[in-house]
Amino acid sequence: MFKDLESNIEYLKNLTNNSADFTVRKLFLRGGTPACIFTIEGMVNKEGLTLSIADPLTTVLVPENCNKYEYIRDNVLTSSEIIEAENFQQVMDFSMSGFAIIAIDGYDKMLVVGIQGFSFRGVSEPSSEMVFRGSKEGFTEPLRINMTLIRRRIKNPDLVFKTMTLGDLSRTQVCLCYIKTAVSNKILKELIRRLKSVELDTVLASGYLVSYLGDTNHNTLLSTVGVTERPDTLCGKITEGRIGLLVDGTPSAIIVPHLFIENFQSFDDYSNRPYFASFIRILKYISFLFALYLPGLFVAITNFHPETLPRNLLAHIADSLQDTPFPLMLELLLVSFMYEVMREAGLRLPKALGHAVSIAGALVIGETGVSAGLICATTLIIVAFSAICSYVVPELYGTITVMKFLIILAGGIFGFIGIVLVSLIGIVGASSLKSFGVPFLSPIAPISKGVITDNFIRSDWHRLSKHKIKVQNMTGVESDFEE
């Protein structure tokens, strides 16, 4: 930076292309020294700018025979957050994050003062991870607010926040959250290495980084990276030795390493009594299997293995199918496809129109289609029940939807053999996945001690706190990465 104030002003104006929201407030210190305050319109608190910066600079007398820059930094400014910027890149990064920049004539450094005041959505319960007995707070868009939500829950000096900047164009700030005494240094170093290798000009959401954090195949149906919108969930994970990744502007956090079995766990499991939490968890596993296999098994049994059904049920299904114009496999695919179209339409449209789409789907496509003989009633029931079961495990909805279509095709063409073959391919593929060196199907494959406790069922807190089953499962697996 230049020592001449006018040169600094001119350079910053050119750097921002004279943007309308880049404000330059020239003033004179008491004593006559020129100074300037740079801000981004709408990003700072104007009252704080006046009380903490403008008033002190123009009213406090700065001695002539001292270093004005240091005197103002140490004796004049009343803000609790004051940083020094030594180059123009730091000036731009701080100003676009809501800081005010103070430049003084004759000095080639600038003071950065934290008086952020931009508007943001308040802390509220996340709609995608609602619980009955837990906290009603969810992550919001500003990074610093999310860091505060975590710090409020873990009041320990071993909790570390480390910030980085990603995206050459967006200059998005991300923050790593971990417990220093619990985290694996190997995994931490590997995560930092992968983040530094991100070659994106723009990072606008946490989803931009997910493909860069996988260990092997980026195109797998299963995600080896966890995502949550709940601060309490993230705090629970990082106390087990995981690492959380917050992205500025995104109301969700990334969790690594992430295991497949965690898709069936929720914060409510640890708030309810063990027997009920275990029942709900087993219910999730059963619902996952129904959502995945029920349509495929139905078409396989009907086309290739009708002897497995009771005679009365088989006769009823045959009577309902003989009046429909399409083969059963094609009918299942069409009804499933129509359901996905209606779901997507109801999700993207405004709420009023979304209800209209739901009514149209249920009455016109459902009831009228069955009455007209275009759709079998049994097929409609199978598809509807499978769709409902898929919402029990919302984290796996995308995986279930794609795999369900593949299993319908396999069951309709090859019967049970096709379903078994697709299942084996899926299990082998999932077994080969790793999340930062940790087997994705751990502790099931490879099987380890405590596979039942807090995985398929939820044990009592006395046993969990005594044996620390979850931490042992996480840290007991050797990582592939070298120190």
Three-state SS sequence of 42-80: CCECHHHHHHHHHHHHHHCECCCCCCHHHHHHHHHCCCC
Within a domain: 464: no
Report the distance separating Cα 250 and Cα 233, nearest Å. Answer: 16
- If asked whether residues 99 and 221 sit together in one domain, one would say no
Q: Summarize pLDDT for 348-368 with one digit per residue, the tens.
A: 777 666 666 666 666 666 777
Contacts of 364 by beta carbon, 8 Å cutoff, 6+ apart: none
- If asked whether residues 232 and 296 sit together in one domain, one would say no
Within a domain: 400: yes
Q: Which of 102-111, 204-213, 266-275 has the lowest mean pLDDT?
A: 266-275
- If asked whether residues 289 and 253 sit together in one domain, one would say no
pLDDT of 246 reads 94
- If asked whether residues 238 and 291 sit together in one domain, one would say no
128 pLDDT higher than 80: no
- If asked whether residues 296 and 265 sit together in one domain, one would say no
Q: Summarize pLDDT for 28-37 with one digit per residue, the tens.
A: 988 788 999 9
Q: Summarize pLDDT for 98-127 with one digit per residue, the tens.
A: 899 999 999 999 999 988 887 777 788 887
Mean pLDDT in residue range 282-287? 92
Work out the pLDDT band at 477, boundaries 50, 70, 90. Answer: very low
Count of domains for the chain:
3
Q: Summarize pLDDT for 392-421 with one digit per residue, the tens.
A: 998 899 899 999 999 999 999 999 999 999
Cα–Cα–Cα angle for 378, 384, 389, rounded to 5 degrees? 125
Boundary residue ending a domain (270, 302, 334): 270
- If asked whether residues 282 and 419 sit together in one domain, one would say yes
Work out the pLDDT band at 462, boundaries 50, 70, 90. Answer: low
- If asked whether residues 232 and 308 sit together in one domain, one would say no
Q: Which of 97-111, 157-171, 269-283, 350-364 has the lowest mean pLDDT?
A: 350-364
- If asked whether residues 185 and 297 sit together in one domain, one would say no
Contacts of 336 by beta carbon, 8 Å cutoff, 6+ apart: 295, 383, 404, 405, 408
- If asked whether residues 336 and 383 sit together in one domain, one would say yes
Per the prediction, the chain carries an average pLDDT of: 85
**Cβ neighbours of 430 (radius 10 Å):** 19
- If asked whether residues 212 and 279 sit together in one domain, one would say no
- If asked whether residues 374 and 341 sit together in one domain, one would say yes
pLDDT of 362 reads 65
Within a domain: 315: yes
Within a domain: 483: no
476 pLDDT higher than 50: no
pLDDT of 455 reads 74
What is the pTM for the complete model shown?
A: 0.81
Q: Summarize pLDDT for 38-79 with one digit per residue, the tens.
A: 999 888 888 888 888 999 898 888 888 888 899 899 888 888
Are the beta carbons of 419 and 410 closer than 8 angstroms? yes
Q: Summarize pLDDT for 209-221 with one digit per residue, the tens.
A: 888 887 765 667 8
- If asked whether residues 230 and 104 sit together in one domain, one would say no
Could you tell me the residue range of the domain that residue 205 belongs to?
143-270
